[in-house]
Structure 1
Amino acid sequence: MKDNLLATPDLIPARMLNEYVYCPRLFYLEYVQREWAENVDVLEGRFVHRRVDRPGGPAPVPAEITAESKIHARSVEVGCPELGAVAVIDLLESDDGQVVPVDYKRGAAPDLPEGAWEPERIQVCLQGLLLRANGYRSGYGIIYYAADKTRVQVDFTPALVARTKQLLAAARALAVSGAIPPPLVNSNKCPRCSLVGICLPDEINFLRGDDKASEATVATTLPSATEAPGGVLPAPTGREVRRLVPARDDNKAVYVQGQGYALGLNGTVLEIRDKGQAVDAVRLVEISQVNLFGNVQISAQALRALVNREVPVLHLSYGGWLQAVTTAPPHKNIELRRQQFQAAGDPDFCLRLAKAFVSGKIRNSRLLLRRNGRRLDPEVLSQLAALRNAVERCEELSSLLGIEGNAAREYFRHFSAMFKPENEPPFDFTGRNRRPPKDPVNALLSFAYSLLVKEMMVAVIGVGFDPHLGFYHQPRYGRPALALDLMEEFRPLVADSVVITVINNGEIGPSDFIQRGEAVALTPRGRKTFIEAFERRLDQLVMHPVFNYQVSYRRIFEIQARLLARTLMGEIPRYIPFVTR
């Protein structure tokens, strides 16, 4: 990504022009929105460049170069404001008074008449044009394919030069247009792209309605599990939505709740220490997030290493309330945040999104009761369905709050029906209370919601949102309103489901709680047990009701956050909440 680091609003890096020729959408994501992700191809390419990325060797000025000059310079920066481009040339060689840019590629040379793919030929040609613009003679370039150690010569013919300039002008026009190109349709380029999880090409094309991105829809009737707010879903395309991202995140969340513990760095390993002695350790490359409860210290070296890897560090109170998040500098996608702030000022847009969030929550609450409730009065399911229908008729946020409140009261009034009846229930539960929770079930629910909101914070920050500006939950000092918005549809499916599971399975009992006045809280052992159950739930594979592929809940959090972003950017017509079948 070294060329991209040199980018200014007026200069397009040669590597970015390669991306434009390969996929205009990829170029826009990386150059304009500053998105970046690594996969095995990126890491292998970095390994291939490990030597040429280190500057070295003389690069004489044009007047000093003769036919006898021997040049072997690595990582040579060259730019031209008039041409509007910049590049870092991997290797610069000489040939009879000319300079020859050599560009390294990780793969093998393709079996093509031209000897190389067009994006690679355009990239090395632009490097040659930049050299010419700086007074050098350059008639051809070399593409070195590391896999088969092949050098392919690319002659800077008039046709290639004209094509390069044409594409450079088109890339610049796209960069200033403010309109992201549509995804490629069913392209073989997508599976190996490092940004496929950000781009979501098949998902976006599906939600647009068809391959031409129409907004055709088909009517459905309540209570279909895949129904979208407003009673419509995108029309089927007749093509399967490919799961192009891993079903699970192999990296794991780290939780540290031992009071007085400290986190330190030992090489590339994060150590958890008690009184200076390591009690546990995990490699940095295996960490997705770090959660610190209460008085847990972290060294500056460890914090810097985590931030450099874009691993968020979440600081929670001893009881589990999120208090701070330490991350790298804010996401570079300012375009998304501008759209977020603009959309948040549109009452009609906010209402549409809020109705989707609340509709998803009510439907999932109803689903959980229907699946798990015992001796359940059928009337409650009818009431929840009616409240869900009322959401669609709602015309004000204040009315929507009332509907949601009524649905929550009805849901929690029958919540205990989901506990196993074989034995005497270990806890009494008559309704929801908080601040502080006054019984064990409410203590579990509050802790579950605090864990869920910090997961949503990680998701929305990672996508590039401002987590404190929501559409349903209105801004309030210190409140992560957007994270609260997105978590609504997942409260029943994740948080409430874990509470029911740990009670019904006997994983948590009365001895896992402590009473302080009216407040009830989990003991350290109880928190540990609940966190383990919560992580199992997040790692569970579930079928996405719209795209029909299986991914973990934690992965779905990110997908839903990105779909919300695509809704704000106008790429898809509406946000569809996640509702299991």
Structure 2
Amino acid sequence: MQLIDNNPITQSETLRVSALHALAYCSRLFYLEEVEELYTQNAAVFGGRRLHAELEKQEDETWEELFLESAELGLRGAVDALRTRDGETIPYEHKRGRCNRDADKKPIPWESDRLQVLAYAYLIESALKIPVKEGRIRYHADNVLIHVPLDDAGRQTVRDAIHRARILRAAPQRPPVTENERLCTRCSLAPVCLPQEARLAHNREWQPIRLFPEDDDRQVIHILEPGTAVGRTGEQLKITRRGQSPETLPVQQVGQLVMHSFSQLSTQALHFCAHHGIGVHFVSGGGRYIGSFDSRQGSIQRRIRQYSALSDGGFCLELARKLVQCRVQGQRKFLMRGKRGLKQHSPRLNETIIQMKKVLKQLPQATSLESLLGLEGNLAALYFGALPCLISTEAPREMGFSGRNRRPPKDRFNALLSFGYALLIKDVMNAILTVGLGNSKK
């Protein structure tokens, strides 16, 4: 028996049992977590933690949690609960959801859960040198307890999974997206993996179940007042403003933390945010985006693909061309929607919409970044030149717009534009730091 001591050198020699659970669920999920070291958390993850916390309070003397490692088997992990009765040692796994059902509607474990409890049972045998006859899985949603026997076939299943996991850990590229689309809808790493977008990129005729990951319902917290301090207390963020009582926010409710002006963030709070996948961004007092905290680790394979892509001039030009095209198409549609609400006809607005369409058709012919920048500048001039046509005549005079200016903006309209762009850049950076952005061609 060898207890885990959080030594990274020791841990690098073995696989986590939970990694085998991910492997059985989806090989791409395993690769993202174990090789690229990408993690995220959703409601199901937090719900699982709450379940385990509740179970810990209910445990009696027959239950214990055990951290084990077996170099011989190549596994390490913490058993949810270990129960010893009548001389038999039985590992238990607790799951929030419902069990699987066979053709006769009899309860059976999900394959990933079955592999996980078998791996824990085998790990106990290997580390403690005691026989284990079975593992058990409790599905709390339908209150079902399933017995999983550890026989020779079960041991072979675990060894095969370990062998497959080691091959994947040495692979230089991500596995393809799983063919079972239903798995993606429940996966906590769907916002990182982007399975629907990957499928669409390889098959334009494919019809997605859900094109984009679910919206993040967590709050974006903006710290606006200079001198405000953000710290940590327990599993909460503590916000202290001058002359006011501190406010606390549970970590599960926060998706991003945006620090404006000269607000303060403690080191403990920064570590806390990094651990829980909370994006931390910094904006100046004037509303200019300054930067974001990058807490990523590892991800070597993804970065190799990024550098490879950026070294490909053709790929860079194509990517830039798509970015310009998407941006301008959005601007043109905005002008067209605004046109519908106008009480009076605007020849200038109509002409701009037509002209932007003509310039858009020239984008595929841009053969260099320089020529593309010229077209983008032309399109920007057209858009901002027509933008005043959408401003209501009833708007206050100080909210008028006569042209784009920045660094610093010289009027209120441009100040709002610049601040909006700063928030947009912040959200784009938050997505990049979460997703990672690899080379889609690979």
- TM-score (normalizing by structure 1): 0.64
- Residue 274 of structure 1 corresponds to 242
Indicate yes or no: 2:306 matched with 1:340. Answer: yes
SS of 2:358's partner is helix
Aligned match of 2:346 in 375, 394, 403? 375
- Residue 46 of structure 1 corresponds to 49
The CA deviation string for residues 144-170 of structure 1, in whole angstroms up to 9 with x for no partner, is 305266554332222222233223222
How far, CA to CA, are the matches of 1:258 and 1:346 in structure 2?
45
Q: Structure 1 unaligned runs (5+)?
A: 58-69, 210-233, 465-564, 572-581
The CA deviation string for residues 497-516 of structure 1, in whole angstroms up to 9 with x for no partner, is xxxxxxxxxxxxxxxxxxxx
Say whether the 8 Å CA contact 1:203–1:241 is kept in structure 2: no
- Residue 78 of structure 1 corresponds to 69
- Residue 355 of structure 1 corresponds to 321
- Residue 163 of structure 1 corresponds to 157
How far, CA to CA, are the matches of 1:108 and 1:25 in structure 2?
24
Say whether the 8 Å CA contact 2:230–2:237 is kept in structure 1: no
Say whether the 8 Å CA contact 2:124–2:132 is kept in structure 1: no
Matches within 5 A, 1:457-536: 457-464=429-436
SS of 1:34's partner is coil
How far, CA to CA, are the matches of 1:263 and 1:180 in structure 2?
38
The CA deviation string for residues 305-343 of structure 1, in whole angstroms up to 9 with x for no partner, is 44443323333222112234345x324433222221221
How far, CA to CA, are the matches of 2:305 and 2:318 in structure 1?
16
Q: Structure 1 counterpart of 2:138, which letter?
A: Y
Q: Structure 1 counterpart of 2:388, which letter?
A: S
- Residue 418 of structure 2 corresponds to 446
SS of 1:278's partner is coil
SS of 2:173's partner is coil
Q: Structure 1 counterpart of 2:130, which letter?
A: R
Comparing 191-200 with 297-306, which one deviates more in the overlay?
297-306
Indicate yes or no: 2:36 matched with 1:33. Answer: yes
Q: Structure 2 unaligned runs (5+)?
A: 340-344
How far, CA to CA, are the matches of 2:108 and 2:256 in structure 1?
44
How far, CA to CA, are the matches of 2:184 and 2:6 in structure 1?
21
Say whether the 8 Å CA contact 2:346–2:389 is kept in structure 1: yes
Q: Structure 1 counterpart of 2:69, which letter?
A: V
Q: Alpha carbons of 1:138 and 1:115: their partners in 2 closer, same or farther (altered >3 Å)?
A: farther
Indicate yes or no: 2:400 matched with 1:397. Answer: no
Residue 269 of structure 1: how far off its partner (Å): 5.2
Q: Structure 1 counterpart of 2:111, which letter?
A: E
How far, CA to CA, are the matches of 2:333 and 2:368 in structure 1?
26
The CA deviation string for residues 250-285 of structure 1, in whole angstroms up to 9 with x for no partner, is 22222233334444556635334123x238665543
Say whether the 8 Å CA contact 1:261–1:274 is kept in structure 2: yes
How far, CA to CA, are the matches of 1:261 and 1:47 in structure 2?
31
Q: Alpha carbons of 1:365 and 1:208: their partners in 2 closer, same or farther (altered >3 Å)?
A: same
Say whether the 8 Å CA contact 1:104–1:144 is kept in structure 2: yes
Say whether the 8 Å CA contact 2:92–2:138 is kept in structure 1: no
Residue 394 of structure 1: how far off its partner (Å): 1.0
Q: Structure 2 counterpart of 1:178, which letter?
A: P
Q: Alpha carbons of 1:200 and 1:3: their partners in 2 closer, same or farther (altered >3 Å)?
A: farther
How far, CA to CA, are the matches of 1:108 and 1:414 in structure 2?
56
Indicate yes or no: 2:98 matched with 1:105. Answer: no
Residue 428 of structure 1: how far off its partner (Å): 5.0
- TM-score (normalizing by structure 2): 0.82
Say whether the 8 Å CA contact 1:131–1:137 is kept in structure 2: yes
Say whether the 8 Å CA contact 1:102–1:141 is kept in structure 2: no
- Residue 538 of structure 1 corresponds to none
Say whether the 8 Å CA contact 2:125–2:132 is kept in structure 1: no
How far, CA to CA, are the matches of 2:7 and 2:147 in structure 1?
27
- Residue 332 of structure 2 corresponds to 366
Indicate yes or no: 2:147 matched with 1:175. Answer: no
Q: Considering only aligned residues, what root-mean-square deviation do their CA atoms show, in Å?
A: 3.6
Q: Alpha carbons of 1:53 and 1:203: their partners in 2 closer, same or farther (altered >3 Å)?
A: farther
Say whether the 8 Å CA contact 2:46–2:252 is kept in structure 1: no
Aligned match of 1:13 in 10, 16, 35? 16
Q: Alpha carbons of 1:376 and 1:453: their partners in 2 closer, same or farther (altered >3 Å)?
A: farther
- Residue 117 of structure 2 corresponds to 124
Say whether the 8 Å CA contact 2:230–2:264 is kept in structure 1: yes
SS of 1:78's partner is strand
Residue 396 of structure 1: how far off its partner (Å): 1.0
Residue 5 of structure 1: how far off its partner (Å): 10
Q: Structure 1 counterpart of 2:241, which letter?
A: R
How far, CA to CA, are the matches of 2:333 and 2:97 in structure 1?
49
Say whether the 8 Å CA contact 1:376–1:414 is kept in structure 2: no
Say whether the 8 Å CA contact 2:41–2:276 is kept in structure 1: no
How far, CA to CA, are the matches of 2:55 and 2:66 in structure 1?
6
- Residue 143 of structure 1 corresponds to 136
Say whether the 8 Å CA contact 1:3–1:14 is kept in structure 2: no
Say whether the 8 Å CA contact 2:399–2:413 is kept in structure 1: yes
How far, CA to CA, are the matches of 1:302 and 1:84 in structure 2?
35
How far, CA to CA, are the matches of 1:324 and 1:333 in structure 2?
21
Indicate yes or no: 2:250 matched with 1:256. Answer: no
Q: Which has the higher contact order (CA 8 A, sep 6+)?
A: 2
Comparing 159-168 with 351-360, which one deviates more in the overlay?
159-168
Say whether the 8 Å CA contact 1:372–1:418 is kept in structure 2: yes
- Residue 259 of structure 2 corresponds to 292
Say whether the 8 Å CA contact 2:391–2:400 is kept in structure 1: no
SS of 2:259's partner is strand
Identity in percent: 29
Q: Structure 1 counterpart of 2:116, which letter?
A: Q
Q: Structure 1 counterpart of 2:412, which letter?
A: P
Q: Alpha carbons of 1:279 and 1:24: their partners in 2 closer, same or farther (altered >3 Å)?
A: closer
How far, CA to CA, are the matches of 1:376 and 1:270 in structure 2?
54
Q: Alpha carbons of 1:294 and 1:95: their partners in 2 closer, same or farther (altered >3 Å)?
A: closer
How far, CA to CA, are the matches of 2:218 and 2:63 in structure 1?
41
The CA deviation string for residues 438-492 of structure 1, in whole angstroms up to 9 with x for no partner, is 333333322322232222222222223xxxxxxxxxxxxxxxxxxxxxxxxxxxx
- Residue 415 of structure 1 corresponds to 387
Say whether the 8 Å CA contact 1:76–1:90 is kept in structure 2: no
Say whether the 8 Å CA contact 1:376–1:417 is kept in structure 2: no
Q: Structure 2 counterpart of 1:158, which letter?
A: D
Aligned match of 1:154 in 117, 140, 148? 148
The CA deviation string for residues 112-161 of structure 1, in whole angstroms up to 9 with x for no partner, is 57943333332233334334444613242221305266554332222222
